[in-house]
């Protein structure tokens, strides 16, 4: 059972649960959403399944998701990609799924750090999943229980149809129905590695089912998280979008159960902070970046951020931040360097307190807040374009390119990316 993801859904305005220390200090809760801008629609080729997710809970996108065959044939070898747009809730990303017959709709947090799909039961939440209302639901005689770094969920397993945007349907999909999930207000869409599910009996999780049932050709997906000010992001199952990245580094996973790779170095103001490569987790289910305390202190010192013991966070005055005009932080993977701009490294304290403040919070946190896992979460991943190859147990990573253009290509087994 993977415990790498930090469950941070309680930090958005719509969530009322108290914030754990993993995102900030004790008692801090993110209560203000930053300014957002409209996002344009990508055009998706045939054979690709594109999921577009809108930023309103329980409401599906009006955009039509298309599946097509690029060579114009109806062959079983058609080019297949599934794409969806994710909602940026600043501290986590959601996608809408429907489960059962007739369909019941749920927003779920997209999490590359776990491998199970689960939704709340209607005994836990009034709008949770009602097993009795689905004619295709079947019970699995096994208890469901999953432990995250900060939170947990438990209940029972079931099998039913699961659809993305009512267009791309997987039948007989196993998923969890939570009857107890303290701190969690929505379910989790775990799309991590097969074999990392929170059950002793192996089953095909959702990405694997897409392959097994012929909706995509290869167990691979790529994520474009756009930027901090965009409410929407995109996930492509079975494909990649060449318009959103430049040079890519291919990195083998150093873990059999998680998207963990070796990071070559971190640089701040051209000063390298590592003497040897460091294993890091790439996790969309975690909001911020968590590094060893030594590196966090070096980064804070370079920017002039000071530790505030009452908040357990590093702060910098807005005037100091404006005067320094930092270049951001460089994360190197092989021959590729990902630059994370200072807008991602420092967030207004007012986002957490809803009170006017001249201070900014440094979003690079000590890894003792994450059970000593070194994690590159969304505040890093928005600057990177990552393709997750679950078949080859590797990733490809490059600098994210913010553009309204799109060049989506499907991927086959052994297809060069």
Q: Name the 3-class secondary structure at 303.
A: helix
> Do 299 and 268 meet the contact criterion of CB atoms below 8 Å apart?
yes
Residue positions counted in the chain: 417
> Do 397 and 244 meet the contact criterion of CB atoms below 8 Å apart?
no
What is the C-alpha to C-alpha distance for residues 223 and 235, in angstroms, rounded to an integer?
5
C-alpha pair distances (Å), 195 with each of 158, 198, 397: 18, 9, 23
What is the C-alpha to C-alpha distance for residues 46 and 191, in angstroms, rounded to an integer?
23
Burial class (CB in 10 A: 0-12, 13-18, 19+), 74: exposed
What is the token pair recorded at 35? Answer: 């300014």
What is the C-alpha to C-alpha distance for residues 55 and 116, in angstroms, rounded to an integer?
23
Burial class (CB in 10 A: 0-12, 13-18, 19+), 170: buried
For residue 81, give the nearest of 193, 232, 194, 217 by alpha carbon.
217
> Do 218 and 197 meet the contact criterion of CB atoms below 8 Å apart?
no
Report the catalytic residues: 111, 283
What is the token pair recorded at 397? Answer: 């990573």
DSSP conformation class of 293? H
Cis peptide, bond prior to residue 330, ω within 30 of zero: no
Burial class (CB in 10 A: 0-12, 13-18, 19+), 69: middle
What is the C-alpha to C-alpha distance for residues 208 and 220, in angstroms, rounded to an integer?
9
For residue 279, give the nearest of 267, 290, 294, 293 by alpha carbon.
290
What is the C-alpha to C-alpha distance for residues 33 and 22, in angstroms, rounded to an integer?
19
What is the C-alpha to C-alpha distance for residues 276 and 263, in angstroms, rounded to an integer?
9
- Does an H or E element contain 399, and which? strand 394-399
């Amino acid at each position: 059972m993977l415990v790498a993801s930090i469950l941070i859904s309680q930090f958005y305005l719509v969530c009322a649960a108290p914030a754990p220390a993993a995102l900030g200090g004790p008692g801090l809760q993110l209560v203000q959403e930053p300014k957002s801008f409209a996002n344009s629609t990508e055009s998706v080729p045939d054979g690709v399944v594109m999921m577009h997710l809108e930023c309103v809970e329980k409401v599906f996108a009006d955009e039509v998701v298309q599946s097509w065959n690029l060579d114009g044939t109806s062959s079983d070898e058609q080019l297949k990609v599934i794409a969806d747009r994710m909602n940026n809730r600043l501290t986590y990303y959601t996608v809408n799924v429907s489960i059962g017959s007739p369909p019941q709709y749920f927003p779920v947090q997209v999490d590359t750090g776990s491998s199970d799909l689960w939704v709340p039961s209607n005994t836990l939440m009034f709008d949770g999943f009602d097993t009795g209302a689905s004619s295709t639901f079947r019970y699995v005689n096994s208890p469901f229980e999953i432990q995250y770094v900060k939170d947990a969920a438990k209940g029972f397993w079931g099998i039913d149809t699961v659809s993305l945007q009512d267009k791309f349907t997987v039948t007989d999909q196993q998923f969890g129905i939570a009857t107890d999930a303290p701190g969690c207000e929505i379910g989790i869409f775990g799309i991590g590695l097969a074999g990392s599910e929170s059950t002793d009996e192996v089953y095909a999780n959702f990405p694997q089912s897409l392959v097994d049932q012929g909706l995509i050709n290869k167990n691979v997906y790529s994520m474009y998280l756009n930027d901090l000010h965009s409410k929407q992001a995109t996930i492509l199952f079975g494909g990649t979008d060449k318009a959103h990245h430049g040079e890519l580094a291919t990195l083998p996973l150093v873990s059999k159960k998680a998207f963990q790779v070796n990071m070559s170095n971190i640089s701040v103001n051209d000063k390298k902070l590592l003497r040897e490569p460091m294993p890091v987790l790439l996790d969309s289910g975690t909001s911020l970046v968590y590094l060893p305390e030594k590196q966090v202190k070096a980064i804070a010192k370079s920017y002039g951020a000071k530790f505030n013991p009452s908040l357990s966070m590093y702060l910098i005055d807005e005037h100091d931040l404006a005067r320094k005009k930092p270049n951001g932080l460089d994360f190197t993977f092989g021959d590729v360097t990902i630059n994370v701009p200072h807008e991602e490294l420092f967030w207004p304290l007012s986002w957490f307190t809803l009170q006017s403040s001249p201070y900014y919070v440094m979003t690079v946190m000590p890894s003792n807040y994450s059970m000593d896992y070194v994690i590159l979460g969304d505040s890093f991943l928005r600057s990177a374009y990552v393709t997750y190859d679950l078949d080859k147990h590797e990733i490809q990573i490059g600098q994210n390119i913010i553009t309204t253009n799109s060049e989506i290509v499907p991927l086959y087994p052994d297809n060069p990316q």
